[in-house]
Amino acid sequence: MRVVAEGSRLLGAVALGAVSALVELAFLLLTLPFLGNPNVGASARRLARLEMRRLRLDLDLPAEGRATGYLAARVPIGVLGGLVVTLLVFGARAAVMFVAAWGRGEPFDGMTPSLPLGAYLFVAGVVLLFLDLSGVVGVHTLERRLAVRMLAPDPTEVLERRIAELAESRAGIVAAVDSERRRIERDLHDGLQQRLVALSMLIGRSLRGRPELLEQAHQEAQQALAELREVAWRVYPSGLDSLGLGEALAGVAERCGLPVKVECRLDGRPAMAVETAAYFVVCEAVTNAAKHAGASLITVDVHGRDGAVRVLVRDDGAGGARAAGGGLSGLARRVAALDGRFEVDSPRGGPTTITAVLPCG
């Protein structure tokens, strides 16, 4: 059934290509005196875009000159496809009429029914059908190769673009690591270090005849341990390795001071780099919403789709978050390092939606 459906789609694509070839031929003849006009070039790009959709190709929109040249080059192939489809339709019609006539016991085109003649015509019909279907496949393949050859970016250009992207992402990773180190240093200096100093002073004073301060020192020690645990989780969540992403995100929800609804739907555990990036995206987004957005509810949705992990964090706060902000820009660089996509939608008045798509391949 799947083969039949794919064959029907292929046949329809070739037949539609024959019709579009005639339309494009008329377009080229009518616009020949106006080549170079921006409107003509834009129309050629639109026609080329429709051809890409028909051929199921995902290519960047070509320049006007390349689009016009492609339309001119594919006209003969489209006409050839129309002839192949016409031959197939004509052969199918002849076969139906032949079988119907012999079924009534009547001669067809002067030929009376007989077993040797029927076997000969059957074999000939199967061979012709095979050749015609091969022609349909060949025309479709030729059209796709022509489109890729004339419309796809130059391989050197693609390579240079990729090198530039990798260089930029590498620089972003270095900057993100340095920024993360600075934030850890600030957390240790401004929070944990000061608390440990206060704890040391309390213990020292209690040893000089004030034992009532031991209880206060104990409380300070507990708070210092809690802050140390929080800083450690910011550096790397150790529970992520043993518990998995779902449990780690549940821990984020528990530590947040706001209601956080977490839904994690993954068929299996993704790669560690993907899992870690997804965790930090949720952690940073939840922290920002709790500290700056004035939100009352945060919703986290993590699921796998089309070979990627999609992370969506939404809050009902005041909005106005910027992707260029310190924490979010670091997340964007982390996602970019995995060839992922990071988006922030935060209009004034809210809601704020942060989306990250992390490829698993």
Write out the residue range of the structural domain in which residue 330 sits: 244-361
Residues 33 and 138 placed together within one structural domain of the fold: yes
> What is the reported pLDDT for 314?
92
pLDDT digits (tens, 9 = 90+) for 129-152: 899 989 999 999 999 999 888 887
pLDDT at 74: 92
d(CA 103, CA 135): 31
Residues 31, 42: Cα–Cα separation, whole Å: 12
Q: Which residues of the chain have pLDDT under 50?
A: none
- The answer on 6 and 138 residing in a single domain is yes
Domain count across the chain: 3
List CB contacts of 168: < 8 A, sequence separation 6 or more: none
Give me the CATH number covering residue 353: 3.30.565.10
Model confidence pLDDT, tens digit, residues 156-207: 777 887 787 776 766 566 556 656 666 776 666 666 667 777 776 777 666 5
Q: Which of 172, 207, 235 is the last residue of a domain?
A: 235
Between β-strands 341-345 and 298-305, what pairing exists: parallel, antiparallel or unpaired?
Answer: unpaired
**Same domain assignment for residues 133 and 204:** no
Q: What is the dihedral of CA 239, 240, 244, 245, to 10 degrees?
A: 120
Q: What pTM, to 2 d.p., does this model score?
A: 0.48
Q: What is the predicted pLDDT for the residue at 193?
A: 65
Q: What is the pLDDT of residue 83?
A: 93
